[in-house]
Amino acid sequence: MERALPEVSHEWGETMLKVNDLVVDYGYVHAVKGIDLEVNQGEIITLIGANGAGKTTTLKAISNLIKKSSGSITFQGEDLTNMSPHKIVEHGICHVPEGRLIFPDLTVKENLMTGTFGNKKLSGTEKDELLEEMFEWFPRLKERMNQLGGTLSGGEQQMLAIARGLMMNPQIIMMDEPSLGLAPIIVEEIFELIEKIRESGKTVLLIEQNASMALNIADRAYVLENGRVTLSGTGKELLDDPKVQAAYLGT
């Protein structure tokens, strides 16, 4: 489990995504009460926190799937705050939603091809190359290429959802609880995959309930509680933090 973290990992690359004082309300419920985040190029950032802490809401607000009450979001110097979701995707921000949400009545290949939608610059051959690359990363999807998405197992569906997101060749991939409801061995596979994605030069913003695994691979992490960031630091710092240990790691 223990993995040596690159010493200066949080200093490499420049700021890619910046969330400033984000507030989101669901009617009278204040889900997110002013969150500041920073994601640098090439990092794995994770947000951990209990149910209802505002993790998913933050992510949805970044890709503008829900309405923000206030705050701003900038990506590579550009203001995304009031941009419509499909425009945000065109900037190279990929959101792998919670609960997988693959298309059950489309085949695996059709699912993947749908993923290319957000990137208009991809040519036909580039799409084929990406497809090949995905099949290399996920050999199991290749076996099931012509099977319907709904017939896959939970782990395979999650892999399909991630692969579908990667098909648009994004700069940053935001994953919402990729380990949700999966067997521990599959979870390990998924986490190995996330590191692989980072090695391929993409930035990862990860939401996890499985705090110990997430902190192990994360360069930096934020702990969310009741819609606020209560702690932040490198993955290792947080792993050693007694408060985090008590609340999330159960040791």
Partner 1 sequence: MMYKMDANVKKAIMLVTVIMMCMLPHILSKSIMTIVCSIMGYLIIAGALNVINGYSGQMCFGIAGFYCVGAYTMAILMNTFHVSFWIGIIPSGLFAAIIGALIAIPTLKMKGMFMAMITIGFSEVMRLIALNWTSVTGGTMGIKGLKAPMFFGLKTSGASRYYYIYLATVLLFLFSTDRVIHSRIGRAWMAIREDDMAAKSLGISLNLYKIINFMYGAFWAGIAGALLAPYKTYIDSAYFTLDEGFNILSMVIIGGQGTLAGPFIGVTVYQFLVEGLRFAGVWRYIACAILIIAMMWLRPQGLAGNSESVLAGKKNRSRSFIKLPEVFSLDRTFGTRRLGKANIG
Query: Does residue 84 bind partner 1 (CB under 8 A)?
Result: yes
Query: Does residue 134 bind partner 1 (CB under 8 A)?
Result: no
Query: Does residue 42 bind partner 1 (CB under 8 A)?
Result: no
Query: Does residue 54 bind partner 1 (CB under 8 A)?
Result: yes
Burial 147-181 (b: 16+ CB within 10 A, else e): ebbeebeebbbbbbbbbbbbbbbbbbbbbbbbbbe
Query: Does residue 127 bind partner 1 (CB under 8 A)?
Result: no
Query: Does residue 164 bind partner 1 (CB under 8 A)?
Result: yes
DSSP one-letter code for 107: B
> In whole angstroms, how close is the CB of 30 to partner 1 at the nearest point?
10
Query: Does residue 25 bind partner 1 (CB under 8 A)?
Result: no
Residue 143 in tokens: 């076996």
> In whole angstroms, how close is the CB of 104 to partner 1 at the nearest point?
6
**CB-count exposure of residue 247 (10 Å: 0-12, 13-18, 19+):** middle
> In whole angstroms, how close is the CB of 86 to partner 1 at the nearest point?
4
How distant is the alpha carbon of residue 149 from its chain centre? Answer: 21
Query: Does residue 247 bind partner 1 (CB under 8 A)?
Result: no
- Cβ distance 31 to 227 under 8 Å? yes
Expressed in angstroms, the distance from the first to the final Cα of the chain is 15
Interacting residue ranges for partner 1, rule: CB under 8 A = 26, 29, 31, 49-57, 60, 63, 65, 84-86, 88-90, 95-98, 101-107, 110, 113-115, 117-119, 146-148, 150-151, 164-165, 168
